[in-house]
Amino acid sequence: MKIIKRNGSEAVFDITKIIRAISQANETVDEGIRMTPTQIRRIAERVVLACEELGRSPGVEEVQDMVEQQIMAHGAFEVARSYITYRYTRNLVRQSNTTDDKILSLIECNNEEAKQENSNKNPIINSTQRDYMAGEVSRDITNRILLPAEIVKAHNEGIIHFHDTDYYAQHMHNCDLVNLEDMLQNGTVITGTLIERPHSFATACNIATQIVAQVASNQYGGQSISLTHLAPFVQVSREKIRTAVLSEMEAIGATPSEEQISTIVEERLREEIRRGVQTIQYQVVTLLTTNGQAPFVTVFMYLNEAKDAAEKRDLAMIIEETLNQRYQGVKNEKGVWVTPAFPKLIYVLEEDNITEDSPYWYLTKLAAKCTAKRMVPDYISEKKMLELKVDKNGEGHCYTCMGCRSFLTPYVDPETNQPKYYGRFNQGVVTLNLPDIALSSGGNLDKFWNIFDERLELCHEALMCRHNRLKGTLSDAAPILWQYGACARLEKGEPIDKLLYGGYSTISLGYAGLYECVKYMTGMSHTDPAATPFALEVMDYLNAACRRWKAEHNIDFSLYGTPLESTTYKFAKCLQKRFGIVEGVTDKGYITNSYHVHVTEPINAFDKLKFEAQFQHLSPGGAISYVEVPNMQQNLDAVLEVMKFIYDNIIYAELNTKSDYCQECGYDGEIAIVEEDGKLIWECPNCKNRDQDKMNVARRTCGYIGTQFWNQGRTQEIKERVLHL
């Protein structure tokens, strides 16, 4: 069994250290009340047993909590007091400077928590280490100076999660919809160089990838671009190619027919589209931003976003090529085609592509084929969005999320009275731990709502800290965002403040663990008809708070189904520390994301999507649902049926399949998760390879695909997922 030390590194669990610590505390009390060596040994053995029952590697603090509990259970209260005093004294010494120790463990690559903090960051490479080192300094400054003590305390105890403290010291925002159309059509500036309107589709694609990289380096969240903004350049290239073909024909004295000329032009155009899309795919995969990872970018594919029928046909060609290339994948270092994490793809299901007799059904079939093999695209229902995303003019709108799931709320530009989505952004997120509220109430409903109010006010204060950190930021801080079109075209030296109010940007109240919260308060899953009303009441309560704050500040507070990654493990450990093991609530190394049905709960794909749709609608700041499926490559009809169901029932959903490869033996099935010495590890079922550096594993954990492995809590959650189809 392994143990996670305070600096994040991993060590072999040693029972003798527990025995020694208890013995030292035992020696400080009067001889008449000391425990015997046998009693001390028994306490240590019970602690070991409790650690083994966790099913994961415990942290040092968890083990020490267990030691305290066992000493007191033996009635040795004076020994326990001595042990607690010693812990407190040592903690004060450690707090004098913890940052140096963490940074050194990062450099030496023995910080297990850092290795698994982000499933798309490789912690070994220099650029990632520099980002993590800077993040530790930022986090230290944030906790000691920038945030109120009560916010820091609540965050450390897992009562709330103040996201991205490693970036908080800088004036940076979370995620956005890049206004690629404005930047391409009207020009932009990248690192001081003027980039004019491109004269071909291929050039437009190249510029788009440079914009994506620049945007990613100036924020910490995801971003989205639309292929529709590239579509006009297909016609630009068509005309350019046609001129070249006519010139060539004239040079050789040929007189081809108009049909022959068109055929040649379209063939060359297809090749240019292929090269342009390839540029996007390979640039996004291979570019490293300043934080040591590929840009977290989503590519939006929405036919009805085109301005006319001709542009829609050109857009369809781009979408087709994008899906074909993603289906193929990218080659790993061994030259084998594998599933890349980015760009994330979203395909809109709409009237023109949802039935067998619709003109773009062929694209939907291709999307299904791609999803079955590569886990993307994910799907947005135009039908449900037009029904549920309605602006103040009474008009529904279909648009993409910002990255993996964060959605803007409907907005009408007061100057033009027209809807606006591209160029808008999210100020940041603070997430509320719902199971902690339930457990703190002891199951008493009156107490539950009172504690709920207290925790909401804590989140309110924390979110205003996020907002005020951005307030006063000058456009010069990130020219690509604020001056050159990605989010706005402000003047040099102009504050971004006007973009923080009136709904132009959002700020998100996140929530996690609705299932566990309802389970504790009602004794039932929130899928049980008797418990669902309480779950919906909790959602309404969260939304009501957002409405109050919005009215008070003129800031668009929005409820957000948080995509917990490493935080799912943190919250679970904090709950266990505060409340012990409560069956069905705190007995896992993870808690459930947002409103999702628990991963172990048997439910079919259609019932799951239908049930979760009502909660997704109540998460206007963003959310995504998924169904877990086996290998569907030989059953595309079933994939298409799920896609049709999404169109009719839910805004945004995805299918989670598996896409793995063992570099040792060439196995391309599902890499398994097994247990070794109390730790969950990945193993090839064919050759038993356990070297993570010699396997490619892709799993969806937070709306996007991760490829760098996960912490023990998230790994346990992945292992326990049941199939829904």
Residues that are catalytic: 174-175, 402, 404, 406, 426, 560, 565, 703
**What DSSP designation does 723 have?**
P
Residue 535 CB coordination number (10 Å): 25
- Rounded CA-CA distance 465/67 in Å is 38
Q: Find out whether 436 and 575 touch, Cβ atoms under 8 Å.
A: yes
Task: Compute CA distances 632 → 567, 625, 657, 672, whole Å.
Answer: 31, 18, 8, 18
- Rounded CA-CA distance 310/586 in Å is 56
- Rounded CA-CA distance 327/615 in Å is 32
3-state secondary structure 77-132: HHHHHHHHHHHHHHHHHHHCCCHHHHHHHHHCCCCHHHHCCCCCCCCCCHHHHHHH
Non-local (6+) Cβ contacts of 144 within 8 A are none
- What the block records as the tokens of 700 is 């969806």
* Interior angle at CA 320, CA 361 and CA 398, nearest 5: 65
Amino acid at site 439:
L
Residue 492 CB coordination number (10 Å): 10
Backbone angles phi, psi at 644, to 5 degrees: -65, -35
Backbone angles phi, psi at 12, to 5 degrees: -70, 135
Task: Compute CA distances 603 → 378, 489, 594, 722, whole Å.
Answer: 21, 49, 18, 9
Count Cβ atoms within 10 A of the Cβ of residue 176 and give its class: 0-12 exposed, 13-18 middle, 19 or more buried.
Answer: buried
Q: Find out whether 58 and 577 touch, Cβ atoms under 8 Å.
A: no
* Interior angle at CA 503, CA 565 and CA 561, nearest 5: 20
- Rounded CA-CA distance 567/513 in Å is 11
Terminus-to-terminus CA distance in the chain, angstroms?
35
Helices 445-470 and 532-553, interaxial angle, to 10°? 40
- Rounded CA-CA distance 506/653 in Å is 22
Burial 247-259 (b: 16+ CB within 10 A, else e): eeeeeeeeeeeee
Residue 280 CB coordination number (10 Å): 24
Non-local (6+) Cβ contacts of 100 within 8 A are none
E strands, 146-187, are: 160-162, 176-177
Residue written as token pair 């079939």: 365
Identify which of 12, 16, 222, 15 has the alpha carbon closest to the alpha carbon of residue 112: 12
Helix/strand/coil percent split, the chain, to 5? 50, 15, 40
